[in-house]
Amino acid sequence: MIDPVTIGAWIGVLVALGGAIAGTVKFLFWVFDEWQKRKNSEGFVVPTVTLQLCELPEGNCWWHMGKRGDEPVMQVVGRMLVTNIATVPVRIPRVELRYGILGRKRVAGMVMVSRVLHENMYGMYDIEPHETRNLSFDFWVYPPVASTAEAFSPRQIRFFDQFGNCHSVKRLVFRSDAPKQDLTPKEPEEHLYAITDSIEQQVASVLKAEIRRYQVCGRRTGGLGSIHIVYRSKALRGVGSDSWTPDSPANQLIAQDPDAASLSSDNLETLIRVYESYESDDERERFVKALLDRLEAGKGYLSISYFIVCVLWKTGFLSPALEKAKRDLPIGETKVFGLSNVLMLFNGLLRYRHNDFTSSMLDEIERFTHGLGEHTFLIPEKIAAIRAMRL
């Protein structure tokens, strides 16, 4: 008579052996599929490395709590830059979000790329070899895995090209767009009717108009209110962003044709015309003082610090503007990005309109960024590139 313990042991061995055989067969099929995917087809070699993904500045990955019927659901949205490093056109038909323990939970999403860089037209477009495009993706996560106002950090986002290659980005942080409890005092609002000085009232009127423009086109969308660059007849959102072709020896930090770019802003042009209309030094001094006095926190204009500095630069007062900004704008402020937007402004201007800056201006800007304690984008590198080019 066979011992039941022996029978149980043999059953366990057979189960383990069956699992091992099944795992081996599955692995062999996977190897075969990968080999089939990468083998030559009529002389064409399927590329295995096709895309390079690059994160954008903070504010381009966020999530929003919506509803599906009466149930809450998370909408997760992100934007990145993608460059085709292959020698053939590449398309991204599928994107997947993985979260939870070891990324066991998966959600398929929607992914689109821009038709060309800096163009706000998206779809399933092919990315031509060595071109960079804007990449937009979003997911719906149900049930929600983050509480309202809490940041969400999935294990990875996986992008799949038409060849089946997987390109993953790990540990992106998606900020909630829910209003957070703000313990900082709210900036006071200046009322135009209470301003008795006519020049101050003129200045404040345009600043008020710019505040509204920044609310519509601000940091989240990559904009700087009314201020933007027009490059090769195309209007950029804000002053543009940094992107480059990988493995290229060309100088890509600054535009090689700055005359093809122009700085545009109706509000900026208005204040410049107002300044040029003054006939006395006293009027011009009051104009500059009205701007400098509002270039600090607690005056109601922190969100448009970039605009105040830009007006002062265009009217010939760059040095006092930078001194005031460095002294009185808060470091690390991320509610309206007052000081950071000033740096973003110069980062874009140095890229596209570097011929507007004299050597002494470059010195002033470099002195402004030195030891600032705030992210300076690529300003030092661009200043070095401009000086090298001029030599």
CA distances from 86 to 45, 50, 312, 388 (A): 11, 5, 46, 32
Q: Are residues 378 and 241 in the same domain?
A: yes
Residue 234 lies in a domain: yes
Residue 32 lies in a domain: no
Of the pLDDT bands very low, low, confident and very high (cuts 50, 70, 90), residue 278 is very high
> What distance lies between CA 348 and its chain's CA centroid?
13
Residue 8 lies in a domain: no
Q: Are residues 128 and 227 in the same domain?
A: no
* Tally of structural domains, the chain: 2
pTM: 0.59
Q: How far apart are CA 65 and CA 49, in angstroms?
A: 36
Is residue 186 pLDDT above 80, yes or no? no
Q: Are residues 169 and 115 in the same domain?
A: yes
Q: Are residues 224 and 142 in the same domain?
A: no
Q: How far apart are CA 104 and CA 84, in angstroms?
A: 29
Residue 155 lies in a domain: yes
Residue 15 lies in a domain: no
pLDDT in tens, 53-80: 988 887 889 999 988 888 899 999 999 9
Of the pLDDT bands very low, low, confident and very high (cuts 50, 70, 90), residue 2 is low
Domain that holds residue 77: 51-176
What is the residue type of 243?
S
Q: Are residues 197 and 336 in the same domain?
A: yes
Of the pLDDT bands very low, low, confident and very high (cuts 50, 70, 90), residue 349 is very high
What is the residue type of 14?
L
- Mean pLDDT of the chain, nearest integer: 90
Q: Are residues 312 and 226 in the same domain?
A: yes
Of the candidates 176, 204, 219, which is a domain's last residue?
A: 176
CATH number, domain of 125, equals 2.60.40
Q: Are residues 362 and 240 in the same domain?
A: yes
Of the pLDDT bands very low, low, confident and very high (cuts 50, 70, 90), residue 28 is confident
Q: How far apart are CA 15 and CA 18, in angstroms?
A: 5
What is the residue type of 164?
G
Q: Are residues 90 and 199 in the same domain?
A: no
What's the pLDDT score for residue 57?
A: 82
